[in-house]
Each structure stands twice: as structure tokens, then as C-alpha cells.
Structure 1
Amino acid sequence: MAGSNINRVILTGNLTRDPELRAAGNTPVCGLRLAVNGRRKTGDGQWVDVPNYFDVSVFGAQGENCARYLTKGRPVAVDGRLQWREWTDKEGNKRQTVDIIAETVQFLGGRDDASGGNGNGFSSSVRAVESDIPVDTADFVSASVGSGSAAEDDIPF
């Protein structure tokens, strides 16, 4: 039944630092640190935002684009998978972590949404995903229902 397992993560949040580009062999790898807010109720009934922090690795050309165009504070959406790893640190202690290996990274918001607002080299030919809301909502205007001659029994559902 190993084929029926699902390992999928979808997150939206803000970068806590500038991306870090490095190489793993001949493959570029970009490291991102993502803050994702959750909400919790305190003992006095007030809701507060509680951040969760995730390490994300982005490989190949997509990683190079992340390093080139993203900056600290920029909102992004990450779709990927979890990967557990274990290593021994310099003091000989065993360490473990769960990382997110990104399959896709979408740049959210405008180019000036990042801290500092310089857009980190965006040109007019590079466009970020700004929203899931369509720009022209005229496509969603309600259509009037006519008083056709079809009987209710003629409707196929």
C-alpha cells in the first residue's frame, strides 16, 4: 500500500529573510524561510496570530528565479512535499529536521510588497501572481433567467 501515501504541502506566507542560493553538485538550490501565521485563542478569549516558520528548498531554474526576484517580507505560495533528514552536528549531537521541497513557488502580491519595496530588479516583463480574483469581473455578471416555454419536466437534472 506504499503507493497510496500522499506527501503534499501547500503554504502561503512571507519570507523572513532574503533567499540564499547555493549549489548541490551542478544543481542550483535556493533556501527560503517562510513565516505562516496561524490563529489561536488565548485564555481570556482573544484571538492572536501565532507564526510558524518553515525552511523551503527550491531546485533548478525556479530556485534561481526565487533568489533573483524575491526579498525578505515578500508573500509567496509554496506547493511541495515534506522531507525528513537527520545529521550529526559539530558537537556530535544527532539533529533532525523536516524541510519542504518546493515543486512550485508563486510570487504573490505586487513587486513592492516586500520590505524595502525595491522589487529586487523586477522589470515590466516579469509579472507576479497578484491574486486569485480576476481583474475583469464582467465575466461573472448574473444572467437573467428567461421565461422560455420549456416545462419543468424537460430540465435534465
Structure 2
Amino acid sequence: MLNRTILVGRLTKDPELRYTPNSGVAVTTFILAVDRSFTNRQGEREADFIPIVVWRKQAENCANYLKKGSLIGVDGRIQTRNYEANDGQRRYVTEIVAENVRFLDSKPRQDGGKSNQGNDFSEVGYEVDEDVPF
């Protein structure tokens, strides 16, 4: 069996960091906007909005270093679950559980400008792959 998903997109809003009530494990959630590879009849590119879940230390890194509009790559698996809502209806959720998140934006320079050189995210454990075309 194989359940693997790789996505590249931008965050639609700032990530939300929470901790599980019993064990205190960090979990961050956000929505990733991923452009479709084709245009609609009006010639406009559409996007899919995909819920992402990140756990533990990586969740804390995402919450601390990502913001609305950040470009990231996500490697993970599709997960489906269901629950009973407060109104008694059964709700179904499909989401991506991230196993690896890569920060793809350039790191801002100290003087406030953007730099395409020396992308160093080593302080948060991520590297930017300069060879990826976007």
C-alpha cells in the first residue's frame, strides 16, 4: 500500500498552534493553496485549498517561522477521519498529515531586503532547494 502526497503552495493564513490536552503534544494546522496546472474557461488559474496538519517539533517550527503567504513544500499522507458535531451530524474530514515541511521562501536579509543568496534555514532544520523551478 502507498499513501504519499507532495504539495507546493502558499499558506492562506497564519498557522494555528495548539497542544493536545492530555499529553501536551504540539499540533499546527493551516490551509495550503495549491495552484492547479490548468486554467478555467476564463483563462484564470484556480487553486485547491488543502488542510494540513503538522505534529511535534515541526509543528512548533511552522508556527514560529511561517505566516500567511509563505511558500512551502509538504510531503505527507492523506488522512480521513470523522466525528460527531455538536448538532449531532456526522462530519467527515480529509486532510494531509505532513511528515516533512520545507520552507521555500527566501530568508529576509537583516537590512529588510530580500536575498536570493545564502538561504539558510538551518536554525529551524530546513533547507531551501534552489534547483526547484516555480
- Shared fold (TM-score greater than 0.5)? yes
Match of 2:59 in 1: 63
More moved, 125-134 vs 76-85: 125-134
Quick one: structure 1 residues 62 and 41, their matched pair in 2 at CA, closer, same or farther if it must change by over 3 Å? closer
Which structure is richer in relative contact order (CA contacts within 8 A, separation 6 or more)?
Answer: 2
- Identity percentage over the alignment? 37
Q: CA deviation at 1:110?
A: 1.0
Match of 2:87 in 1: 91
Instruction: Give the length in aligned residue pairs.
Output: 120
Q: Does 1:18 align with 2:9?
A: no
Q: CA deviation at 1:92?
A: 1.2
Unpaired segments of 5 or more residues in structure 2? Answer: 114-119
Tell me the TM-score normalised to structure 1 length: 0.67
Question: Higher strand fraction: Structure 1 or Structure 2?
Answer: 2
SS in 2 for 1:57: strand
Larger Rg: 1
Does the Cα contact within 8 Å between 1:10 and 1:77 map onto a contact in 2? Answer: yes
Unpaired segments of 5 or more residues in structure 1? Answer: 135-157
- CA deviation vs aligned residue, 1:63-104 (integer Å, no higher than 9, x gap): 111111111100000000011010111211111011111100
1:131-150 aligned within 5 A: 131-133=129-131
Tell me the TM-score normalised to structure 2 length: 0.78
Q: CA RMSD in A?
A: 2.5
Match of 1:150 in 2: none
Q: CA deviation at 1:125?
A: 5.0
SS in 2 for 1:63: helix
